[in-house]
Amino acid sequence: MATSVQVKRGDTVSALAQRHGTTVQAILNANPGLVPERLTAGRTITVPAITGRAVVRAAGIRITAVLPVQGRITTAPNAQHIGLDLAARPGTVIRAALGGTVRTSTFDAQSGWGWTVVVDHGNGYTTRYSHNRVNLVSAGQRVQTGQPIAQVGSTGNSTGPHLDFRVYQAGALVNPYQLFN
């Protein structure tokens, strides 16, 4: 069953999905042509209900992800940028999308990522969080899903305060939305 929802100022597709107990991908599928970064107040969208949603477990890792930061999508995944840019106020808490072990927590000046955290989730999955103002975790540290790991900033090659969030599977970039399906 689906519900028609009028978008309010400040709503994001991920916030609507969380509020209505569905997924970002389900909302995008129900609204062909919907561009998350162009979601405008007053627009009516279809929000489908998800029933019987299973939680998949692999090697002890719960594969139910959280969005790392509540912010406005400024760049959605596309062929040139297979990542998710989320604009937010400097200092906004960035959370681990999934539990795992911090692989690196460093300032990456060479590639322009600035302060960056990389978390290894096992089974070939890693997530990267870049342009942070400050990292709150250290390499080797275990983190839980939703645990604060950094704060939004604009370090490195950045045009303003935001999180550049990327997901890798077996070292290859993948669409980050697949974590939230």
Residue 146 and residue 90 share a domain: yes
The pTM of this model reads: 0.64
Range of the structural domain that residue 6 is part of: 2-48
Of 121, 81, 84, whose CA–CA distance to 100 is shortest?
A: 121
Contact 21, 49 (CB under 8 A): yes
Q: Is the dihedral of CA 71, 72, 75, 76 positive or negative?
A: positive
Q: Which residue has the higher pLDDT, 102 or 65?
A: 102
Cα distance between residue 159 and residue 133, in whole Å: 13
User: Could you read off the pLDDT of 92-149 as tens digits, one per residue?
Assistant: 999 999 999 999 999 998 889 999 999 999 988 999 999 999 999 999 999 999 999 9
Residue 41 and residue 63 share a domain: no
DSSP 156: S
The CATH number covering residue 143 comes to: 2.70.70.10
Residue 123 and residue 102 share a domain: yes
Distance from the Cα of residue 139 to its chain's centroid: 21
Strand, helix or coil at 101?
Answer: strand
Of 93, 94, 78, 104, whose CA–CA distance to 165 is shortest?
A: 94
Residue 84 and residue 39 share a domain: no
